[in-house]
């Protein structure tokens, strides 16, 4: 099968023929139908987050079950599914206390003495974040996917696999945004737009979108933003404070930069909460003014929207079909696997929310 393989950091992905193993116990073979090109893929391509190479990238996807291994009882061939990189074991402390997105049980991958899931001849190719969805097929643990209804369009379903779950989940699960509250979202890419959409669903009274790209700010209004701020026109912290009379109840950083993380904390009102969603590069230190903690401000992280994805994702599908999730506007283009490097370059330029690779 064809797959996009990363062999060297800061080098283009190479379209190669790779082989998948047969499904083993608890494993599911999925025919990939759609895969979103997410900014997180770019972080690994450019080395911000080291990863063993070679690897097939991609982690935001939807497809159809082709075959199952032994002991699989959740899905059957023909089922439509969305994948999720935060696979869960179901019995560790994190899973049993409702924090499934923090599970990192090694049993979800094959052991080192087993044959790899992905290979090129005798060469092992590493599976990316339990998935590797820039490929015509995926071989994954059954706890890395959820069933969805068959009338959900696959290109939109793929977005739920990462960006939507991360953004909406950060609002609803991690921060528990209250109806009538004020919200600021820094960064209007796929995750930021999902944050804005999630805040609207949660009933926030005022939702302020912050970005430097005018077209993204226009798009943010479609997702529920009541106000927009172009960060290139001045200090966004002062602008937020002026709009809200002192700061917001909740802020969300959806870029992954030191400066915007610090800004997300500074734009809070007393008692407010900043939630950091963006992938801040390894080694980056965040500086905050200590006395501001006396105002009972909180800063916290969020991993994949603190999800319970087998519950959340089918609900997000229903939200889309009811017109509450605006996934149609998030897709900048539908491309072929061979166009993946152009899609990654477009993310780096900051002009698009999501390109989606279509395999059929």
Which of 40, 132, 264, 332 is labelled catalytic?
40
User: pTM of the predicted model, to two decimals?
Assistant: 0.95
pLDDT at residue 348 above 90? no
**Residue 143 appears among annotated catalytic residues:** no
For the chain, where are the E strands, in sequence order? 2-6, 14-17, 19-20, 27-37, 55-56, 60-68, 80-83, 118-120, 123-127, 137-141, 145-147, 182-186, 206-211, 227-230, 248-253, 268-276, 298-301, 331-335, 354-358
Out of 38, 95, 103, 195, which one is annotated catalytic? 38
Using alpha carbons, select from 287, 58, 306 the residue that is nearest to residue 174: 306
Segments making up each domain of the chain, as ranges: 2-161+306-358, 176-301
> What is the per-residue pLDDT for 29?
98
pLDDT-derived band at 250, boundaries 50, 70, 90:
very high
Residue the block writes with tokens 């070679």: 54
Q: Are 252 and 275 in contact (CB under 8 A)?
A: yes
Q: Give me the pLDDT at residue 219, please.
A: 94
The pLDDT score that the predictor gives to residue 127 is 97
Q: Is the pLDDT of residue 12 over 80?
A: yes
43 is catalytic: yes
Instruction: Please give the Cα distance from 44 to 4 (Å, whole number).
Output: 13
Q: Does 103 qualify as catalytic in the annotation?
A: no
Whether 84 is catalytic is: no
- pLDDT bin (cut points 50, 70, 90) of residue 313 is very high
Instruction: Kindly report the number of other CB atoms within 10 A of residue 122's CB atom.
Output: 5
What's domain 176-301's architecture? 3-Layer(aba) Sandwich (3.40)
Check whether 314 has a pLDDT greater than 80: yes
Instruction: Tell me the pLDDT tens digit for each residue of 137-189.
Output: 999 999 999 999 999 999 999 999 999 999 999 999 999 999 999 999 999 99
Between CA 269 and CA 253 the distance in angstroms is 16
Query: How do residues 20-70 score in pLDDT, each as one tens digit?
Result: 999 999 999 999 999 999 989 999 999 989 999 999 999 999 999 999 999
Pick the catalytic residue from 39, 43, 141, 326.
Answer: 43
The catalytic residue among 84, 95, 103, 162 is 162
59: annotated active-site residue: yes
Report the share of the chain in percent with pLDDT over 70: 100
Q: Token digits for 105?
A: 């049980």
Cβ neighbours of residue 213 under 8 Å, at least 6 residues apart?
188, 350, 351
SS3 content of the chain, % helix, strand, coil (to 5): 35, 25, 40
Residue showing tokens 């001045």: 234
Mean pLDDT across 201-219: 96
Q: Which residues in 151-304 belong to E strands, given as ranges? A: 182-186, 206-211, 227-230, 248-253, 268-276, 298-301
- pLDDT score recorded for residue 172: 98
Task: Please give the pLDDT value at position 347.
Answer: 87
**Do 2-161+306-358 and 176-301 show the same overall fold?**
no
| Inter-helix orientation angle 214-222/190-202, to 10° | 30
d(CA 325, CA 194): 8
- Nearest Cα to 182, choosing from 168, 196, 165? 196
Is the pLDDT at 265 greater than 80, yes or no? yes
Of residues 39, 59, 80, 326, which has the active-site annotation?
59
Q: Which structure tokens are listed for 66?
A: 């082709």
* Average confidence score pLDDT of the chain: 96
| Distance separating alpha carbons of residues 319 and 225, to the nearest angstrom | 18
Q: How large is the average pLDDT for residues 318-339?
A: 96
Structure tokens at 106: 């090694």
Cβ–Cβ < 8 Å for 102, 303: yes
pLDDT-based confidence at 350, cuts 50/70/90? confident
CA distance 72 to 55: 26
Q: State the sign of the Cα–Cα–Cα–Cα dihedral 258, 219, 227, 196.
A: negative
The gap between the terminal CA atoms of the chain, to the nearest Å, is 14
| Tens digit of each residue's pLDDT (9 = 90 or more) over 95-135 | 999 999 999 998 899 988 899 999 999 999 999 999 999 99
pLDDT in tens, 276-309: 999 999 999 999 999 999 999 999 999 999 999 9
Q: What angle do CA 86, 26, 120 make, to 5 degrees?
A: 80
Tell me the β-bridge partners of 28. 68, 140
For 2-161+306-358, give the CATH class.
alpha beta
If one compares 219 and 349, the residue with the highest pLDDT of the two is 219
């Amino acid at each position: 099968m064809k797959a996009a393989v990363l062999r060297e950091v800061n080098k283009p992905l190479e379209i190669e023929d790779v082989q998948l193993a047969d499904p083993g116990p608890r494993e599911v073979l999925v025919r990939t139908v759609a895969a979103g090109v997410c900014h997180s893929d770019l972080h690994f391509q450019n080395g911000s987050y080291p990863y063993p190479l070679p690897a097939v990238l991609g982690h935001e996807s939807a497809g159809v079950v082709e075959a199952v291994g032994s002991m699989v009882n959740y899905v059957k061939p023909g089922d439509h599914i969305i994948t999720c990189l935060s696979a869960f074991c179901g019995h560790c402390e994190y899973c049993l206390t409702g924090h499934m997105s923090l599970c990192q049980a090694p049993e979800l991958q094959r052991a080192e003495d087993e044959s790899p899931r992905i290979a090129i001849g005798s060469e092992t190719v590493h599976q990316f974040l339990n998935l590797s969805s820039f490929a015509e097929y995926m071989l994954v643990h059954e706890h890395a996917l959820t069933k969805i209804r068959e009338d959900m369009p696959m290109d939109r379903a793929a977005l739920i696999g990462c960006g939507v779950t991360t953004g909406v989940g950060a609002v609803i699960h991690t921060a528990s945004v209250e109806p009538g509250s004020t919200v600021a979202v820094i960064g209007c890419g796929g995750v930021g737009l999902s944050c804005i959409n999630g805040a609207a669903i949660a009933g926030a009274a005022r939702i302020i979108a912050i970005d430097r790209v005018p077209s993204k700010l226009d798009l943010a209004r479609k997702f529920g933003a009541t106000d927009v701020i172009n960060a290139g026109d001045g200090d966004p912290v002062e602008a937020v404070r002026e709009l809200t009379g002192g700061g917001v109840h909740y802020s969300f950083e959806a870029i992954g930069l030191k400066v915007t993380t610090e800004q997300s904390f500074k734009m809070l009102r007393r008692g407010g909460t900043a939630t950091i969603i963006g992938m801040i590069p390894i080694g980056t230190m965040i500086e905050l003014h200590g006395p501001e903690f006396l105002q009972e401000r909180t800063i916290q992280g969020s991993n994949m929207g603190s999800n319970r994805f087998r519950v959340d994702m089918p609900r997000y599908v229903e939200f889309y079909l009811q017109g509450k999730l605006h996934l149609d506007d998030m897709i900048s283009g539908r491309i072929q696997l061979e166009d993946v490097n152009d899609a990654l370059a477009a993310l780096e330029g900051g002009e698009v929310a999501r390109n989606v690779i279509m395999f059929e």
